[in-house]
Amino acid sequence: ARRAAEKRASDEHVHMYLPSCSSRTVVYKGLMAGTRLADFYLDLQDPACESRLAVFHQRYSTNTMPDWRLAQPFRMLAHNGEINTVTGNRAWMRAREAELEPELRGVVWPQGSDSASLDNALELLVHRGWEVSEALMSLVPDAWEGRGDLAAAVRDFYRYQSIRFEPWDGPAALAFSDGVVVGAALDRNGLRPLRWQRTRDGLVAAASEAGVVTMAPSTVVERGRLGPGQMLLVDTRDGSVLRDAEAKERAAARHDYGLLADRVLVPVERRHIEVEGPDDIAALHRLNGWGSEDVKIVVAAMAETGAEPVFSMGDDIPIAALGRTPRRVYGYLRQRFAQVTNPAIDPLREKAVMSLRVLIGPRRGTLEPEGGADRELRRSHHPAIPGTQRLLELESPVLGAAELARVLEDATVLDATYALGESLHDALRRLCREASETPGVIVLSDRRAGLERIAIPMALAVGAVHEALLKTGERMAKDLVAIAGDVVDVHDVACLITIGASAVHPYLALATAAAAASEGETRYRKALEAGLLKVMAKMGISCVDSYRGSQVLEALGLGAEVMELCFPAVPSNIGGVDLTDIERMALPRLVEAPALPDHGRVRFRKAGEHHAYNPLAVRAAQKAARENDHDAYLEWRRLSSMGEPQSLRELLHIKTARQAIPLESVEPSEAIVKRFVSTAMSLGALSPEAHEALAIAMNQIGARSNSGEGGEDPATYSDDDGGRRDNRVKQVASARFGVTPRYLKRADELEIKIAQGSKPGEGGQLPGLKVTSLIARLRHAQPGMQLISPPPHHDIYSIEDLAQLIHDLKTVNPRARIGVKLVAEAGVGTIAAGVAKARADYILVSGHDGGTGASPLSSIKNAGVPWELGLAETQQVLVANRLRERVSLRTDGGLKSGRDIVIAAMLGAEEFGFGTGVLVALGCDMARQCHLNTCPTGIATQREDLRAKFEGRPEHVINHLFHIADEAREHLASVGIATLDEAVGRVDLLESVDSSPLDLSFILAATDATLPRRRTLARNGDAPAPAPPSGTIDNAQRTVGAALAPGESRAYRGSAGQSFGAFLDEGIELVLEGEAQDYVGKGMGGGVIVIRPFADDASPYPVLAGNTICYGATGGKLFVAGRVGERFCVRNSGAMAVVEGAGDHFCEYMTGGVAVALGAVGWNAGAGMTGGIAYLTDWRQLNADSVVAREVPEEDEGELRALVEEHHRRTGSARAATMLADWPSAVRQFRQVVPVARLQPAVAEPAPASQESAPKPAA
């Protein structure tokens, strides 16, 4: 009935939303504060209104703009999180609608949020006879592929349901109910907190924090938490409470799912077979658009090392649509990545939750209920009845020759090439028509490409066929595999899969790898698979089955014709080339040539792609900086942007005023340079000399330098010589390297780095060769060990978490401005709106072309978009939502000139960052070997012999920045504007040049001139309240302890708020009787934190604190007389911590300190651990790649016993008392867990005499 009403409303263009027509549930929702709900819905004030269950959710609107209809809960669930695969999930649900009765089609509400779409899918399954928990288990499964602790029947359930549904993947805390059963569940990564309590009289409360529902401790008989992929159910029919294992085993017991799965799935074993390579591999390279760099720098490197090539210094060539060398279509598609509202995943240290398992074959009957009472249904699914459906089950979507041969046994190959007389458009239409006429598995192959036939770009072929089959309702009944010669690297494979291919056979790349090295094909596949996991993980996607068809890409330079036919769900904001242009670019490949072209997209080549920092330009810039030579600066400007426009801003024209103002009327350069920032470059990536020179230069002119994520040497904090030598902006990144209370309190600005332009969605990377004893000391790490920061901040899994970290930093340093660094991508404006609501003081929007000391080459070239797009969108969204006045906007990424500054201001920026430019001013000659520790100018190296060659001076940087400011003044004068403040947000003063090949209307969209277009408030939000006095505490009191001074102490009773004891300094003590939330003791540099149960607590073995405890701690002690959640002591580098049980990822990426668990810990303990020691008595799984467990050495027994004794003395722990009563027996139960790296020799620092530097590039 509701669907009929909704369809009629849609047909009659009526704006309508029905919260529920259920006879068992009532949904109250509204655009209001949760505390006002009962004022609006008077039922909730009526004593006669009773229910045995209730689900409540108050939503922080970030990924959508506020809308009454999107208030939660929805009809069956409330969701705190983000469905990262929602585009694909919606498309696949649309594809399944061919199975439905016509009146039920259109299940997924097109205007709904990701949460609403999941609710739509869940409601449909329940409507069709599924039990609600069973349906949710099928849509949001546990990480069953990599976990050995699941019951066999439960594993079989998940294996069978994977035939029918791809996971709805992303961080999720879910509360759900059908009116009879009510439950809560977490995603497979456990990226949201969920605590629960049960009283003696049967009341169960589950919430994202402890203490939400007040319960007398003496009545609470159970205090628990949900871990990754876990579920809690309450059945109101019999009052039963089903924990995770019970709930899942009940669902799995309905059928013999193992037999059902075995009837359908055909495992395909991976094996290697020798295949004779093509006769003329070079000719195939040319026909498929390869260049010599693709062969030598990309594929050969992967074949030799089994890893993606790493490069440095960012991407200074034009985007594909503006380049002077032809690009393959993949070059027009950019990888999307997670920022703030959802975290990236760490595929290195948490690979157990990742899966490349893929199923190939047609699927039918995916929406049939498995638990219904229909006898015919039960009979048809009986294992004795032969099945007709068969799906191949493979380890990976990257197919070798053997796997491809098995696929081809049951597939039809379609020719993805076209003759010279056929247009690309007609060829795509023909391919779609043939696919519609072909049953089962369809293989698109470009192997017939030759001098008479042109290969259809495989991305276009897969995209067009996938979309055509979706539109006709045939996609579930057919599957797509690509045999592609134009696939070179990780990005290409990722594009094909997210566009819609189930598997890819990169035959030409495999042949190239096999020819490049012994076992090259095997290593190349390994590199592709590791890289594919990384690309999925940067968007927060765990399973390739979810990534398939999710279209998490952004087009940059593809026209409307291409987008509508091949990628209709992919954002594209600037238009660009059409099919005719792509066809024309392919024609030169048919002409035979003696050698592959060297396109020069990675390294500068005279006849190759234009590089802004080409050798001639670099020399001119250095001359201008060293000699303060204005003519040389003008020459640098000319040489850095020769010929056709190289960037989006070069397609913009600054309108001149009818009457310019005199130059002397414009604010002086001394005022303009105060808006400049030298962008984040770490001590480690840079030499100490270069790092300090930048700080001194920026401080001398009243500007700001950014420390980067490597911390600082406290020796620079002395201002005795009259000049400041440290960085005014101090960065807080995901690894928390060098983040101590002293570091935070010294800052004028604190910048939370969410993403980096050269590798958004990935962590920072410092090769072991550069981790000297100094760098290791400052980062609280081990010398010679490679340091790869986690892709996510483990205390930022949501916008609420970001708001918490901002609050934490304002508490520890109330005078510092707090900034958040984002990277430009479609939707960054909505994310920025959430950041502004989270009380940040400034937002940095970085472009894709920012520099880097070390990044995977495919990330440098294929992730993020120009800052012009991100900045414009951010400005538009913030102005429209009346948030712009709260924050400053900053941008960076390839800024080179005064003209760039003025255009950035007109698009909304008030502050401007420079990275590569200031390094060139210091002497960098763009050798692009920062990652090798062989920088010939001593800037990006830690080698003493090369550092001695550093000749840069702070005045060189100052000269460079004043040249830019002087040029900016000239542009302001020509526009008739006296100050940069007046230019901020004046997009009306920009216009597209007449010859622009791109549509810049998105960038030039006007904002409301009556609303504020720049920051007007001094700070965003009020200063945090001081720590409460000793006594009662509740969960509204957050970050208690960060503002206390050495010598102070507090004792509390109750449920403390988030970040209890965060950034605690030396000489401070906190004692809590009760329970705490997430992030206890994160960043603590000293002091003591004690948490013990309520004195009258009735729950045995209680959960007393949440996730991510002692994150990045550098000192101090923590004692918790109970269990805690996931990622205990993640990145701990100095604290001593004792706990009585913990969840998964115990001591993840720990580099120092000691962690003791007196009870069981979960999976993946010690992942990425390179320093410190852990003592465990019971664990589910150790990360064997990172750690080993051994008996406690006799010399370390004293340390362990002292910690257990102190734990007992401070908390009164009964568990510790039992151990101490029979210590000889207890110590035999312990195992000392130490890093594998500790037992192996570290990477030696190169000898000073070693001369590995390459010659400077010549013009």
* Alpha-carbon gap, residue 1043 to 336, rounded angstroms: 38
Q: Is the pLDDT higher at 1165 or at 128?
A: 1165
Q: Residue 466 has what pLDDT?
A: 98
**CA-based nearest residue to 751, from 777, 725, 729, 769:** 729
More confident call, 313 vs 1148? 1148
Cα 1051 from chain centroid (whole Å) = 38
pLDDT tens, position by position, 628-674: 999 999 999 999 988 789 999 999 999 999 899 999 999 999 999 99
What's at 385, amino acid-wise?
I
User: What's residue 1251's pLDDT?
Assistant: 33
Distance, CA of 479 to CA of 458 (rounded, Å): 15
Question: How many angstroms separate the CA atoms of 1259 and 1257, rounded?
Answer: 7
Task: Quote the tokens at residue 298.
Answer: 């990309």
Average pLDDT over residues 947-951: 96
How far, in Å, CA of 652 to CA of 645, rounded? Answer: 10
DSSP one-letter code for 1187:
E
How far is 381 from 374, CA to CA, in rounded Å?
Answer: 11
What mean pLDDT do residues 944-958 have? 97
Edge-to-edge strand order for the sheet containing 411-415?
A: 411-415, 440-445, 478-483, 503-505
Task: Look up the CATH number of domain 2-190+226-266.
Answer: 3.60.20.10
Angle (CA) 320 323 326, round 5°: 75
Helix (H) or strand (E) holding 830: helix 828-837
Q: What is the DSSP letter of 887?
A: -
Per-residue pLDDT reduced to its tens digit, 244-291:
999 999 999 999 999 999 999 999 999 888 888 888 899 999 999 999
The verdict on whether omega for the bond into residue 73 sits within 30 degrees of 0, i.e. cis, is yes
Question: Counting beta carbons within 10 angstroms of the beta carbon of residue 256, is it exposed (0 to 12), middle (13 to 18) or buried (19 or more)?
Answer: middle
Tens-place pLDDT, residues 714-724: 999 987 777 89
Distance CA(74)–CA(58), nearest Å, equals: 12
Q: How confident is the model at residue 64 (pLDDT cuts 50, 70, 90)?
A: low
Work out the pLDDT band at 208, boundaries 50, 70, 90.
very high
pLDDT at residue 384 in the model: 43
Confidence of residue 439 (pLDDT cuts 50, 70, 90): very high
Kindly report whether the peptide bond that precedes residue 193 is cis, defined as omega within 30 degrees of 0: no
- With a cut of 60, say whether residue 75 has pLDDT above it: yes
Q: What is the pLDDT of residues 1073-1114, one digit of tens each?
A: 999 999 999 999 999 999 999 999 999 999 999 999 999 999
Residue with tokens 């250095």: 622
Q: In Å, what is the CA distance from 1230 to each residue of 132, 1136, 1157, 1217, 1224? A: 42, 17, 9, 15, 11
Q: What would the mean pLDDT of 974-980 be, rounded to a whole number?
A: 97
Q: Please name the amino acid found at residue 142.
A: D
Cα–Cα nearest to 512, from 524, 500, 495, 494? 524
**C-alpha distances out from residue 439 to 210, 411, 475, 477, 798, Å:** 54, 9, 10, 8, 43
Question: Identical fold at 281-362+390-590 and 1031-1239?
Answer: no
Listed in sequence order, the residues at least 6 apart from 578 whose beta carbon sits closer than 8 Å to its beta carbon are 559, 560, 561, 562
Does the structure show a pLDDT above 60 at 1049?
yes
Dist CA 692 CA 914 (whole Å): 16
Distance between CA atoms of residues 609 and 605, nearest Å? 7
pLDDT of res. 147: 83
How far is 1177 from 1157, CA to CA, in rounded Å? 7
Render pLDDT for 774-805 as a digit per residue (tens, 0 to 9).
999 999 999 999 999 999 999 999 999 999 99
Percent of the chain topping pLDDT 70? 96
> Could you report the per-residue pLDDT of 704-714, keeping only the tens digit for each?
999 999 999 99
Q: Report the C-alpha gap between 230 and 206 in whole angstroms.
A: 13
In this prediction, residue 370 has a pLDDT band, given cuts at 50, 70 and 90, of: low
Q: Does position 352 have pLDDT exceeding 60, yes or no?
A: yes
DSSP 238: T
Where residue 1242 falls among pLDDT bands split at 50, 70, 90?
very low
Q: Tens digit of pLDDT for each residue in 726-772?
A: 999 999 999 999 999 999 999 999 999 999 998 999 998 999 999 99
In the chain, domain spans: 2-190+226-266, 281-362+390-590, 615-645+647-992, 1031-1239
pLDDT band at 1258 (very low <50, low <70, confident <90, very high): very low
DSSP-derived letter for residue 1168 is T
Phi, psi dihedral angles at 1160 (to 5 degrees): -70, 145
> Residue 1247: pLDDT above 50?
no
Indicate if the pLDDT at residue 614 is higher than 60.
yes
Q: Which CATH class is domain 281-362+390-590?
A: alpha beta
Alpha carbons 908 and 891: distance in angstroms, whole number: 9
Residue 417's beta-bridge partner residues? 455
Question: Average pLDDT of 55-62?
Answer: 78
Give the pairing type, strands 503-505 and 553-555: unpaired
Q: What CATH number does the domain located at 615-645+647-992 have?
A: 3.20.20.70
Between helices 132-139 and 114-127, what is the axis angle to 10°? 130
535 token code pair: 């690309």
Mean pLDDT value across the chain: 93
pLDDT category at 383 given cuts 50, 70, 90 is: very low
CA separation for the pair 44, 30 (Å, rounded): 14
The pair of three-digit structure tokens given for residue 117, joined into one six-digit string = 């779409």
Q: How far is CA 702 from CA 692, 723, 728, 972, 1043, in A?
A: 15, 11, 10, 21, 28
Q: Maximum distance among all alpha carbons in the chain?
A: 91
pLDDT exceeds cutoff 80 at 332: yes
Q: What class does CATH assign to 1031-1239? A: mainly beta
Query: Over 70: is that where the pLDDT of 1256 sits?
Result: no
Residues contacting 212, CB < 8 A, separation 6+: 205, 1035
Does the pLDDT at position 851 exceed 90? Answer: no
Strands (E), 527-590: 553-555
Q: How far apart are the first and last CA of the chain?
A: 74
**Which pLDDT does position 387 carry in this prediction?**
55
pLDDT exceeds 90 at position 1118:
yes
Name the band, by pLDDT with cuts 50, 70 and 90, for residue 35.
confident
Give the number of other CB atoms < 10 A from CB of residue 1189: 17
Q: How confident is the model at residue 1246 (pLDDT cuts 50, 70, 90)?
A: very low
pLDDT digits (tens, 9 = 90+) for 517-574: 999 999 999 999 999 999 999 999 999 999 999 999 999 999 999 999 999 999 999 9
